[in-house]
Amino acid sequence: GAVVSQHPSRVICKSGTSVKIECRSLDFQATTMFWYRQFPKQSLMLMATSNEGSKATYEQGVEKDKFLINHASLTLSTLTVTSAHPEDSSFYICSATRVNNEKLFFGSGTQLSVL
């Protein structure tokens, strides 16, 4: 099956620093990548949808200057949490599809803790 690799799996940082999370599709070209945020015992909240070579589409209420998404190639998307604050602490998880409306393949997620 298709594999999506996400790094790092866990990061602890000081308030005010920026954190970059990478999401790679290892054995397929991802037409679209999605970034989700998940709080403990809650659902996945879609943050943004990105397509290779174009600007990401952010969901309402998600600050695009705060959560920078770069989809530089068909196999790599990055999420940068800029000037992180404690309220940004959360589980961030990426996913990818090979074909539109096909199933999602998820990365293993990144637990971000901002001190």
Token duo for residue 83: 């000037």
Give the footprint of other proteins on residues 77-96 (CB under 8 A). Answer: 93, 95
Q: How many residues of this chain interact with other proteins, rule: CB under 8 A?
A: 25
Rounded to whole angstroms, how far apart are CA atoms 14 and 83? 9
Query: Which of 100, 80, 85 minimizes the C-alpha distance to 32?
Result: 100
Query: Is 100 one of the binding residues for other proteins (CB under 8 A)?
Result: yes
Query: Is 101 one of the binding residues for other proteins (CB under 8 A)?
Result: yes
| Cross-strand bridge partners of residue 11 | 112
Binding site for other proteins (CB under 8 A): 32, 34, 36, 41-46, 49, 57, 59-60, 93, 95, 97, 100-101, 103-109
